[in-house]
Amino acid sequence: MKVLVYLPIDAIVRTWATLLAADGHEVETTYTFSVFAKRVRWADWALANVTKNDAPRYLWKLLVSMLWARLLGKRVALFISIDAFDLCDRPVLRAILWVVNLITFHCATRVFLLSTRSYVARRYRLPERRIVLVRNCPDRVKYNRTCPTRPTGPTGPTGQASAPLTFLYHGELLWWHGLERFIPIYEELKKRRPVRLIVTGNFYPTAFRILGLTASRREVAVKRELAALLRRSDIEYRGHVPIEHLRRHMAEADFHVSLANDRDQIARTELRTCLLEAMAAGMACLHVPTPSLDPDIFRDGENIVLIRPDDPVASAEKILALANCHDSLDKIRFNAARTIAEHFDMRKEYARALAHLVIS
């Protein structure tokens, strides 16, 4: 099978491309529309990635590429991780974006959609026969049990009373994840014992634009707040770091700050790759209760720690209680890694996706 992979922005699409090639399929990858337009004639399948991209031309490249492939009678699969419609708060631009997405999505032969975002299929009235729901999955080879079991009580891992409680937030600092909502909890913790907050990953201050216009006023405001946070002396912002450095930060951190925003639909329905990576590494992850957390898989105090940013005092007390109870924290870490191994297998999701491509 010949597969042309277009705009592989998400890690899942890049991994699928690697696995397809390893299975003996002919795979070509491109980010360029002119290359796509030429090579799509060669392909049995084109696999395109729909996600957030700040470049205004991204939307039009997707739209035109889908129309071109449809005109040529080619089979196209879309992998949708984010509906940019949710990132727009201007009514006219939202209407334009809805129409663009409607046309783009309906051009696809198959639509691979993250299982927590099934609302996208309903929003654009996508036929059920075209939809394949897949789970987000981490790269377990990179993150498998990075974090050792270690004491993190009031005396810290070295037995010194001044040892700080360390928190890690990693990944691209996309504005809907709500790092700013963790800060009041962080301030409460600082009143009670020494703490550190390490932040790694890219920060993109640019805003999503449509027809040259900023799509969301709120995005601009939140990104300005994020930029100010990252300049604070009590936040250790490291920028994008190599995987070896990230693994080291995971090993030294007591808790992972995974998601603190439950106000936006895109946040409420996102099962963050960074959360899954941290759990695979054996970290105790702090997360707000959201619909994206399947209660049959994610259980508070067993494999994840649920906090409420609107009550920073109670959240801080819950975190400190766990930090002072080594057995409970070690159990959460162990169960977190086991949860990923049992429920989030990239190869199983890839095999399901491949089956839908082969039989189509």
- For residues 235 and 260, state if they share a domain: yes
Q: How many domains does the chain have?
A: 2
- For residues 111 and 130, state if they share a domain: yes
Tell whether pTM > 0.85: yes
Q: What is the pLDDT of residue 358?
A: 86
- Dist CA 121 CA 160 (whole Å): 54
- For residues 124 and 152, state if they share a domain: no
- For residues 48 and 107, state if they share a domain: yes
Residues 6+ apart with CB under 8 A from 256: 167, 168, 169, 170, 250, 274, 275, 278, 283, 284, 285, 286
Tens-digit pLDDT profile for residues 137-186:
998 888 877 655 554 544 444 444 458 999 999 987 778 899 999 999 99
- For residues 108 and 162, state if they share a domain: no
- For residues 148 and 106, state if they share a domain: no
Q: What is the pLDDT of residue 162?
A: 58
The CATH number covering residue 175 comes to: 3.40.50.2000
Do β-strands 213-214 and 209-210 pair in parallel, antiparallel, or remain unpaired? antiparallel
- For residues 185 and 279, state if they share a domain: yes
- For residues 168 and 288, state if they share a domain: yes
Q: What is the pLDDT of residue 104?
A: 96
The CATH number covering residue 350 comes to: 3.40.1190.20
- For residues 168 and 294, state if they share a domain: yes
- For residues 80 and 62, state if they share a domain: yes
**Domain residue limits at 277:** 140-343
Q: What is the pLDDT of residue 155?
A: 43
- Dist CA 259 CA 293 (whole Å): 11
- Dist CA 300 CA 283 (whole Å): 14
The partner residues of 27 in beta bridges, in order of sequence, read 3
- For residues 228 and 262, state if they share a domain: yes
- For residues 59 and 173, state if they share a domain: no
Write out residues in the chain with pLDDT < 70, as ranges.
Answer: 146-162, 360
Q: What is the pLDDT of residue 148?
A: 54
